Amino acid sequence: MYPSKHPDAVLEFEEYVRIRQDGLLRSARRLVGDPLDAQDLLQIALLRTYRQWEHIADKRLADAYLRRVMINTRTEWWRARKLEEVPTAHIPESSVKDSSDQHADRALLTEVLQSLAPKQRSVVVLRHCEQMTTDETAATLGMAAGTVKSTLHRALARLRQELERSYP
């Protein structure tokens, strides 16, 4: 059972979700790639945020709070999946069903982003996809601005390597 919410808080949260849901879903898609997983990720993050809604004093920071919840949830999933993976001698080839260049580029970018560690992927998504500043990214992820810069530098170098491997 969830704590009882003041009716105004419930309405305020519903309004927030109504206004921000498209942008938040885009953020979730950038974090996990698969559209259905992104919807699940957003729903879980919204539920967890709703539980804490009355404790978020500055509602202008709700996006940052919710993104942090999504990142933490995605990390939980990644850790759980990592434990379930079984090594195999043959890696199946991935293919892009849609032959359009845009879809192929997006699929490649999603695949390459998945090769990054969760912390690196979070920094890349927030800095480049969400267009957050270094300081905003640092605040959202709870790390120093210098750590964001060095993590981004290493992540972009890794992305370049992966892209060169995909497009020699």
- The CATH number of residue 139's host domain is 1.10.10.10
- Global pTM? 0.50
User: How far lies 16's CA from each of 82, 123, 163, in Å?
Assistant: 34, 25, 38
CATH code assigned at 63: 1.10.1740.10
Q: Give yes or no: residues 20 and 85 share one domain.
A: yes
> To the nearest 5 percent, what fractions of the chain are helix, strand and coil?
75, 0, 25
Q: Are residues 57 and 102 in the same domain?
A: no
Ranked by mean pLDDT, the top range of 8-22, 84-98, 142-156 is: 142-156
Which pLDDT belongs to residue 41?
Answer: 92
Kindly tell me if the per-residue pLDDT of 78 is higher than 90.
Answer: no
Using the CB atoms, write b or e for 46-63: b if 16+ within 10 Å. Answer: beebbeebeebeeeeebb
Q: Quick one: 86 and 9 in the same domain? A: yes
Q: Which of 90, 125, 149 is the last residue of a domain?
A: 90
Shared domain for 103 and 85, answered yes or no, is no
Residues 78, 142: Cα–Cα separation, whole Å: 19
The domain of 40 spans: 1-90
Using the predicted structure, report yes or no on whether residue 98 has a pLDDT greater than 60: no
Structure confidence by residue, pLDDT tens digits, 48-69: 999 888 888 888 888 889 999 9
Mean pLDDT of all residues in 110-117: 81
Chain centre distance of CA 132: 13
User: Count of domains in the chain?
Assistant: 2
CA distances from 52 to 8, 25, 45 (A): 14, 20, 11
Domain end position, chosen among 90, 107, 123: 90
